[in-house]
Amino acid sequence: QVQLVESGGGLVQAGGSLRLSCAASGSIFSINAMGWYRQAPGNQRELVAIITSDGSTNYADSLKGRFTISRDNAKNTVSLQMSSLKPEDTAVYYCNAGITSWSRNWGVYWGQGTQVTVSS
């Protein structure tokens, strides 16, 4: 069984910074891309950023320059550093990863989500 657990969400004032972390655990043989998505009330879940196993990154155009994704392959973790936060960044943030288990089954896994609230 594979599990993703996020941490680091919370309440922050506009202009502030926040760092989210996600740790993958369980029967993991390898992890391909890892990413962050977010979903605001009434909106669809949207891509924030993804990072491949070799460190290539891709960001939502509107977030480039404010958010930075990184990963630690040795620890099976992915992080999202968010700066210059705006009230419109308020959402539940979800960690996501493509994982091959020791039984060689591949699947896409999601964390439970962590709330980020940016006050004006």
The reported pLDDT for the residue numbered 64 is 86
Cα angle: 114, vertex 59, 10; to 5 degrees: 20
Backbone angles phi, psi at 88, to 5 degrees: -75, -5
Contact 29, 76 (CB under 8 A): no
Q: What pLDDT, in 10s, does the model give residues 17-31?
A: 999 999 999 999 999
pLDDT of the residue at 1 = 87
Gyration radius (Cα) of the chain, Å: 14
Beta strands in 2-113, from DSSP E residues, in sequence order: 2-7, 10-13, 18-26, 28-39, 46-51, 57-59, 67-72, 77-82, 91-101, 106-110
Please report the pLDDT score of residue 14 as a whole number: 98
Rounded distance between C-alpha atoms, residue 105 and residue 103, angstroms: 6
Residue 37 is which amino acid?
Y
C-alpha to C-alpha distance for 36 and 47, rounded to whole angstroms: 6
**Low-confidence residues in the chain, pLDDT < 50:** none
Rounded distance between C-alpha atoms, residue 2 and residue 11, angstroms: 29
